[in-house]
Structures are given as C-alpha cells and as structure tokens.
C-alpha cells in the first residue's frame, strides 16, 4: 500500500517526475479543520469538502474514500450528530480507513466496499456527496452520476473535484502510458462532463473552482519535442482541475406519457 510520498512521486503527485514542482495535482489539506495526515495519500486534485456546505447532522457520502482523509474532514463539519460513509472498491484502502477511524475513535464514520456505479447505500439518504479526483477514473460516468442522484435526498447536493480536458491534447501525451494510467485516465472534455451531469437530472450546476494543471517542461520533454510543447501551450488546450457543485431537484419528474419519456 503506497503512502503519500510514494503517491506524490507518481503522475498525480509528480514529486519525483519533475525538478520544477513537487506537486502537480493536489491542493494543500494541512490547514483544513479535521485534517489527519495519516489519512492523506496525496491523490486528490482539489478540496471538495471546502466547498461542500456540510452542516451539523448531515449524512455525507465520500466516493473513492481511500484512507479516509475527506471523510474525516467531512466528519469535522457534520459533527457527532451526523454520519459519514466512505465508499471505495479497494479492500486494502477500506482496511486502512477503518483502522484510521478506530484510532481516532470516530464512531459515526464507516467505510463500505463497493463501486460508484452501484453504491452499497439506499436511495434518498445523503445530504451531501463529495469526491476527490475519482470520477474521472470511473468507466461509466453516466451511471455514476445517476447513482449520485439516487442516493441524494431531494434538494441535496454534491461537491466533486475532478480532472477534465479542454481542447485536444497532443497524441504523444495522451498515448503516454504514464499519463494515461495516471492523472488523465478517463478524463473527459469539460463540456461533455458538464453535459453528463445535466443529463443525469441535476440542477444549479456550478463550477466552484477551476485551476489549470500545469505540467512542467521537463515532464513534457519526455514525450514531445520543444517545438511541439510551444504549440501545445499556445493552442489553449490543457488539463484542468474543477470543483463542481450541483443539486438534486426537490421534485423528480414522473413519466406521464411518450413526450416526457423521450
């Protein structure tokens, strides 16, 4: 099981990939209330809990919960009267997160093994759903957002940080095994990503934060010539981290005939 330092030397952390930066993707959690260093694997691309509007007593679901970092920050916001559920498909991560929760004596934080496309939770139970740089790795994003809609209470919302693309990335970069298997694996064009969220039935879709993922030249030079790098930068295309907010409608439309079913 990799620790934060090892993860940050991978593509999404880039600690060992570049002499220019220590961290390409992640934001600094260390000053966030509820932060627990032992649960931070350095794999995120934003701070979704910072924008999630979590209130005391809320039920919060974290998708791709890893070692529990976002769950513990959410637990700080929801307090002892709330509940936090972390979902991850990796048994090793679930075990580590449970061990961290036990060490911290958090009795209202639990971790469940499961897929985001088929969550092991009931419908209409969550006040808030959060996720940090995980949805881009899910094969069926339409199903994932359909599931998020299902588990949220009417009128509830999500705040999700994720990676999106703008414009066409150079073929040399997208074909790179390191980049494809890491940070940008499965990332969609930004407009398509937002359309999937809208098609799922969410409203009040808002980008709460957006930042470019600036890949240093010494990484890019491993995949393309300097002239192509200059063209890539001037073209306006790139990789971005966005933190996205959206709400489940208070009333769901029912199918009343052929027109509303189409």
Q: Which residues contact 191 (CB under 8 A, 6 or more apart)?
A: none
Tell me how far apart the alpha carbons of residues 2 and 118 are, in angstroms, rounded to a whole number: 26
Give me the pLDDT at residue 112, please. 97
**CATH code for the domain of 179:** 3.40.50.150
Give me the pLDDT at residue 176, please. 59
Give me the pLDDT at residue 5, please. 38
Which residue ranges of the chain lie beneath pLDDT 50?
Answer: 1-25, 29-44, 177, 180-181, 257, 259, 262
- State the first-to-last Cα distance of the chain, in angstroms, to the nearest integer: 47
The verdict on residue 256 lying in a domain is no
Give me the pLDDT at residue 15, please. 36
Q: Which residues pair with 201 in a beta bridge?
A: none
Phi and psi at residue 152, to the nearest 5°: -75, 145
Q: Which of the 8 DSSP states describes residue 49?
A: G
The verdict on residue 95 lying in a domain is yes
Phi and psi at residue 202, to the nearest 5°: -80, 155
- Report DSSP letters for 115-153, one per residue: BTTB-SS-SS-EEEEEEES-GGG-S-HHHHHHHHHHHEE
Tell me how far apart the alpha carbons of residues 178 and 33 are, in angstroms, rounded to a whole number: 34
Give me the pLDDT at residue 214, please. 75
The verdict on residue 258 lying in a domain is no
The verdict on residue 229 lying in a domain is yes
Give me the pLDDT at residue 178, please. 52
The verdict on residue 66 lying in a domain is yes
The verdict on residue 17 lying in a domain is yes
Q: What is the pTM of this model?
A: 0.80
The verdict on residue 255 lying in a domain is no
Tell me how far apart the alpha carbons of residues 258 and 57 are, in angstroms, rounded to a whole number: 41
The string of pLDDT tens digits covering residues 125-138 is 999 999 998 898 89
Torsion of CA 183, 244, 55, 97, to 10 degrees: -20
Give me the pLDDT at residue 45, please. 61
Domain residue limits at 11: 4-248
In total, how many domains does the chain have? 1
Write down the H helix ranges in 2-133.
Answer: 4-8, 69-78, 91-104
**How many helices (H) and strands (E) in the chain?**
10, 8
The verdict on residue 260 lying in a domain is no
Give me the pLDDT at residue 182, please. 61
């Amino acid at each position: 099981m990799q620790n934060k330092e090892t993860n940050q030397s991978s593509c999404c952390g880039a600690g060992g990939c570049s002499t220019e930066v220590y961290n390409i993707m992640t934001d600094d959690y260390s000053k966030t209330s509820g932060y627990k260093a032992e649960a931070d694997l350095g794999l995120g691309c934003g701070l979704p809990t910072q924008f999630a509007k979590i209130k005391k007593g809320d039920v919060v679901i974290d998708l791709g919960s890893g070692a529990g970092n976002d769950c513990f920050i959410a637990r700080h916001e929801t307090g002892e009267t709330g509940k936090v559920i972390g979902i991850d498909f990796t048994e090793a991560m679930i075990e580590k997160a449970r061990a961290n929760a036990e060490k911290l004596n958090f009795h209202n934080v639990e971790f469940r093994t499961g897929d985001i496309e088929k969550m092991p939770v009931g419908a209409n139970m969550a006040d808030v759903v959060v996720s940090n740089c995980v949805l881009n790795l899910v094969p069926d994003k339409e199903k994932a957002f359909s599931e998020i809609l299902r588990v949220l209470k009417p009128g509830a919302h999500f705040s999700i940080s994720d990676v999106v693309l703008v414009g066409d990335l150079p073929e040399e970069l997208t074909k790179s095994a390191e980049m494809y298997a890491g940070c940008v694996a499965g990332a969609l064009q930004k407009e398509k990503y937002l359309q999937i969220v809208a098609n799922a039935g969410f409203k009040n879709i808002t980008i709460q934060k957006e930042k470019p993922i600036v890949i240093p030249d010494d990484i890019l030079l491993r995949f393309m010539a300097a002239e192509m790098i200059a063209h890539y930068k001037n073209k306006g295309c790139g990789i971005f981290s966005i933190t996205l907010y959206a709400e489940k409608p208070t009333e769901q439309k029912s199918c009343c005939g052929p027109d509303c079913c189409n």
